[in-house]
Amino acid sequence: MNFPTIHTNFWDAVIALPLVLCLTQLLKIYLHIPKQWVPSIALAIGIVFSVLISHRGSLTAGLFMGYFYGYAAIGTYASLKTSYQFFRNRK
């Protein structure tokens, strides 16, 4: 079995993660998406971004990296929210 060669660079992380995070939050605010659907939407946006923009030449690489983009956005949001709540309640 041959695994795909995945070329990622600094710009994937700098552009993809904030883009997925911002689009997810904008959709949540303006379309009133229920909270339980937000992680799935972040994952879908990450996969779409990766397949259509970052890794156009390889569907396998696009799907693989799309999961990372989506889950990185989910984890970043959860971490920021937890830290904010901790510091707000600390006073």
Q: What is the pLDDT of residues 21-80, one digit of tens each?
A: 999 999 999 999 998 999 999 999 999 999 998 888 889 888 988 999 999 999 999 999
Of 73, 59, 60, 86, which is closest to residue 12 (Cα–Cα)?
A: 73
Number of domains in the chain: 1
Confidence at residue 6, expressed as pLDDT on a 0 to 100 scale:
64
Residue 90 above 90 pLDDT?
no
* Higher pLDDT, residue 9 or 41: 41
Range of the domain at 46: 11-89
Nearest to 50 by CA among 12, 10, 11, 3: 12
Among residues 70, 69, 50, 72, the alpha carbon closest in space to that of 61 is found at 50
Q: Considering the domain boundaries, does residue 39 fall inside one?
A: yes
CA distance 61 to 53: 12
Whats the size of the chain, residue-wise?
91
Cβ–Cβ < 8 Å for 67, 16 = no
pLDDT of residue 77: 93
pTM metric for this prediction: 0.82
In a domain, 1, yes or no: no
72 lies in some domain: yes
